[in-house]
C-alpha cells in the first residue's frame, strides 16, 4: 500500500493543535501537560484515519472506531477530576483532554479549517478567560477559622450560623474537645468584605476564648 502524504499532514496538524493546548497547560503547571495532550490529539487523529481506511476495505461504518474515542477519553478525563476541601477540581484539565481528542479527530478527518478555527478559539479561552476569572474572583477568599470556646453545643451552632447569616459558604468544619474547651475549625468561602465583618463579630464575642484565621 502506498503511503499517502496527506496522512502525514493530518498527523502533523493534530500534533500542532495538541501542542498548542498542551503548551498552555504546561505553562500553567497543570497535571496534564504538553506531551500528554500531544499524544492524545495525535492518537485520536490516527484512530480516526484508521477507522476510515479499515471501513474502506471491509465496508463497515467508519464511525464505529471513531465513536469509541469519546468513550476512551472519558476514562482519562475522569482520572483528573478530584474533590478537594468540598470543591471539585480538575474540570478544566479534563475538558482540555476531551478537546484535544476532538481536535485530533478533526485533523484525522482532514477538516483543517475547522481544526484551525477551533484551536484558535480554544487558545483564546485558555489565555484570555483566565484573567477574566481572576477578576471575577478577586473579591472572594477561602479562609480557615479556628475558634476556641467552652464545651457548648449551642454556642457552636450559634457560631456556625454566624457564617451562614453572612451568606458565606462553609465548605467543611470539625470540632475537637480539649479539656474543658472545644476547638472548632471552619473552612469558609465568601466575599472578602463579609470575611472582615465576620472577624469583627468573632473578636467582639466574649464567649470566644481564642480566635484565629488564615
The two counts, helices (H) then strands (E), for the chain are 7, 6
pLDDT score, position 12: 96
pLDDT score, position 88: 58
Taken in order of first residue, the domains within the chain and their CATH numbers are: 5-137 (no CATH), 140-213 (3.30.70.260)
pLDDT score, position 26: 84
Contacts of 22 (CB under 8 A, 6+ apart): 32, 33, 34, 35, 36, 37, 38, 100
Q: How far apart are the first and last CA of the chain?
A: 66
Q: Are 212 and 145 in contact (CB under 8 A)?
A: yes
pLDDT score, position 82: 65
pLDDT score, position 93: 83
Phi-psi region of 194 (alpha: psi -120 to 50; beta: other; left: phi over 0): alpha
> For 107-142, how does the pLDDT look when each residue is reduced to its tens digit (9 = 90+)?
999 999 999 999 999 999 888 876 676 666 556 778
Question: What are the CA-CA distances from residue 154 to residues 163, 165, 207, 208 (Å)?
Answer: 15, 16, 12, 13
pLDDT score, position 19: 93
This prediction has a pTM of: 0.61
pLDDT along the chain (214 residues), means of 10: 82 94 84 87 92 80 75 74 60 87 93 95 86 64 88 87 85 86 89 83 87 86
Q: At which residue does the C-alpha cell 467543611 appear?
A: 172
pLDDT score, position 13: 95
Amino acid at each position: 500500500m502506498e503511503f499517502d502524504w496527506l496522512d502525514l499532514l493530518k498527523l502533523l496538524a493534530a500534533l500542532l493543535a495538541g501542542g498548542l493546548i498542551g503548551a498552555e497547560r504546561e505553562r500553567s503547571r497543570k497535571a496534564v501537560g504538553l506531551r500528554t495532550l500531544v499524544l492524545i490529539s495525535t492518537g485520536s487523529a490516527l484512530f480516526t484515519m484508521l477507522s476510515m481506511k479499515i471501513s474502506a476495505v471491509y465496508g463497515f461504518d467508519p464511525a464505529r472506531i471513531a465513536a469509541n474515542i469519546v468513550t476512551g477519553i472519558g476514562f482519562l478525563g475522569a482520572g483528573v477530576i478530584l474533590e478537594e476541601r468540598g470543591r471539585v477540581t480538575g474540570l478544566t484539565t479534563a475538558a482540555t483532554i476531551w478537546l484535544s481528542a476532538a481536535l485530533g479527530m478533526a485533523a484525522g478527518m482532514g477538516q483543517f479549517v475547522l481544526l484551525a478555527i477551533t484551536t484558535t478559539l480554544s487558545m483564546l479561552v485558555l489565555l484570555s478567560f483566565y484573567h477574566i476569572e481572576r477578576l471575577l474572583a478577586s473579591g472572594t477568599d477561602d479562609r480557615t477559622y479556628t475558634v476556641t470556646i467552652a464545651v457548648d453545643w449551642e454556642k457552636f451552632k450559634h457560631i456556625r450560623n454566624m457564617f451562614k447569616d453572612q451568606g458565606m459558604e462553609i465548605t467543611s468544619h470539625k470540632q475537637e474537645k480539649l479539656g474543658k474547651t472545644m476547638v472548632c475549625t471552619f473552612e469558609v468561602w465568601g466575599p472578602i468584605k463579609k470575611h472582615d465583618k465576620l472577624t469583627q463579630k468573632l473578636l467582639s464575642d466574649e464567649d470566644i476564648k481564642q480566635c484565629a484565621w488564615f
